[in-house]
Amino acid sequence: MKQFFGAFFGSVVGIVIASIIAALIIVAGVTASFSDAFKKDEKAFKSKGTSVLELVFDSEIIDREKKNPFEELDLGDFGGEKGMGLNTILNNLEKAKEDTAIKGLFLNFKGFMAGKSALMDIRQGLVDFKKSGKFVYAYSEGYSQSAYYLASAADKIFLNPQGGMEWKGLNMSLMFYKKTLEKLGIDVQIYRHGKFKSAIEPFILDKMSDANRLQAETFLNSIWNNMLVDISESRKISIDELNAMANTLAINFPEDALSNKLVDDLKYEDEVMSELKKKLKLKEKDKINFVSHAKYAKAKDKKKEKTEDKIAVIYAIGQINSGEGDDEEIGSETIAQAIKDARLNDKVKAIVLRVNSPGGSALASEIIWREAVLAKKTKPFIVSMGDVAASGGYYISCAADKIFAQPNTITGSIGVFGMVPNFKSAFEDKLGITIDTVNTNKYSDVMTTMRGATPTESVYIQKSVEKIYDVFIGRVADGRKMSKEQVDSIGQGRVWSGSDALKINLVDELGSLNDAIAFAAKKANLKNYKLMDLPKQKNPFEDIFSKIETETEAKMVKKSMGEYYGYWKHVKSLMNNKGVYARVPYDFIIQ
């Protein structure tokens, strides 16, 4: 009977899953059939001549937009993670600036996440858009500091009369696991080079070391000051006044934001729509022709239609590991192959490597670095740094002809470490499990997690760390035309902001992804060109189905842990590390 019910329910589950997959395939076919309709929409919208590009910020800002065959449908988890691509946002702003049909831009903030460097990229895009003479309006029911930073570039900022605004300065909290590991009986042995290499601090300390606190305070204050400079310039409020508001928690109610000139008016969304209609010289009964971010992304850029010349933009996003990787992890094989493909493609005249990575495997970083060196010999090779391009992220960047970073980019962290957890006591004392081992040679089980390392083994492991660090600073010295001693003096695992990194020759220029692309075009003597994004993205259906299980797990953990999800993800990645790593100290959760 048990077998019968087991087979029965198994069949039912199989039928349900098959039905879901079949339904999704049918939906995909229907979605594909909408493509002609989308094209018609583009032509219709262009002919009206009084359109407004609407950017609704309601999801995470990611470096590269993901292909989503279900973008017109709400399929929950089956639709994959939502996210606005920085590349698409910047491209839309560039197109809209020249598009005579687009009369202005409406920013609608409904809750989103973005790194501080990505925010600067978008804000610079907004400022550049305004040079066209077109208007930019912003509205929100409640501005976070990140949202307000973008909104501050607008001509007019509207806030819901019963809404709110956050203005308190930046903070960064780190979680330490030393006492937890002690309670569990887990001993972690650390091998590192660099007094600032604090990636392992959470496992051996219960608070920040003095060196770690120094670097954290330095780059956090640098990021905050960069935000204040931009806001001060746009809103004509002094930096001292902005700091005073934060220090006294002066912004508590919408009226406070208005009286302190942080916003221009308190209005409900329907009243903002009326303001937009006046700006567009429409009647109150008329409907505003909003063009969505997703739809406008389908509009062609006429300037780039009549050329075969290309600039390859290669996206290196996430922790660096060996193998293929995916959209959220840099696989050395995949990124190295993408660089090689761009190098061997005669139509590709320049390469821009977009790096947004805290680093990872030192060996995997070396594999990517090698391809970067080969590419540099054949065509312009430019790096654009995102929110984080540190440790291994800097390793794969240092060979470039020119490195662009935003003032708020986290970079540097030139240092390496190895970490070997010892679970012997945890198994024996907590679970009653004992371990016995047979070796063919004296050190066959070196670096095992079932016992601590002997003094001889510790020397052996430390030598590997020192060797890799020496290679690392050598790579940087060659790429940046510095001596190894100079690199070591600013290395030691220390983290720098982009603006500070410029002063010590770790980057060449402060600028956005678009600035890096423009420089690559100039270097390659290109006036017209197309962008070719690499690595090629997976088939959307294959990607969605392959990630259903992992994304469901991640969403469940996110839901239960909230803002602390980043800490869980960081611990999981570090505990899975193998070999020597070049990784930034921690995942940066700056609020």
Of 6 and 532, more confident: 532
Query: Distance (Å, rounded) from C-alpha 61 to C-alpha 513?
Result: 14
Active-site position among 391, 397, 499, 512: 391
Q: Which amino acid belongs to residue 405?
A: A
- Is 90 exceeded by the pLDDT of residue 417? no
Q: List pLDDT tens digits, range 116-169.
A: 999 999 999 999 999 999 999 999 999 999 999 999 999 999 999 999 999 999
Q: pTM for the full model?
A: 0.82
* String of DSSP letters for 64-131: SPPP-TTTTS--GGGG---EEEHHHHHHHHHHHHH-TTEEEEEEEES--B--HHHHHHHHHHHHHHHT
Whether cis (ω within 30° of 0) applies to the bond prior to 358 is: no
Active-site position among 95, 97, 103, 197: 197
- Is 70 exceeded by the pLDDT of residue 196? no
If pLDDT is split at 50, 70 and 90, which confidence band does 35 have? Answer: very low
CATH class for domain 302-414+486-583?
alpha beta
Residue 138, beta-bridge partner list: 107, 157
Q: What average pLDDT does the structure give for the chain?
A: 84
The residues spanned by each domain of the chain are: 44-167+251-296, 302-414+486-583
- Check residue 415 and give its pLDDT: 86
Q: What CA–CA distances, in Å, run from 26 to 44, 174, 527, 546?
A: 28, 47, 43, 19
Active site residue 340: no
- Check residue 78 and give its pLDDT: 47
Output the CA torsion sign for 383, 386, 389, 393.
negative
Q: What is the mean pLDDT of residues 563-572?
A: 55
Helix (H) or strand (E) holding 215: helix 210-235
Which DSSP state fits 431?
Answer: I
Residue among 460, 397, 404, 450 at smallest CA distance from 428: 450
Q: List pLDDT tens digits, range 458-514.
A: 899 889 889 999 999 999 999 999 999 999 999 988 889 999 999 999 999 999 999
Q: Please name the residues in contact with 192: beta carbons below 8 A apart, sequence gap of 6 or more.
A: 200, 415, 416, 417, 418, 465, 493
Buried b (16+ CB within 10 A) or exposed e, 433-462: eeeeeeeeeeeeebebbebebeeebeeebe
- Is 70 exceeded by the pLDDT of residue 540? no
Active site residue 35: no
Looking at domain 44-167+251-296, which of 3.40.190.10, 3.90.226.10, 3.90.1150.10, 1.10.240.10 is its CATH number? 3.90.226.10
CA-derived radius of gyration, the chain = 26
Which is it for strands 325-326 and 329-331: parallel, antiparallel or unpaired?
Answer: antiparallel
Q: Do domains 44-167+251-296 and 302-414+486-583 have the same CATH topology?
A: yes
Residue among 115, 117, 55, 121 at smallest CA distance from 87: 121
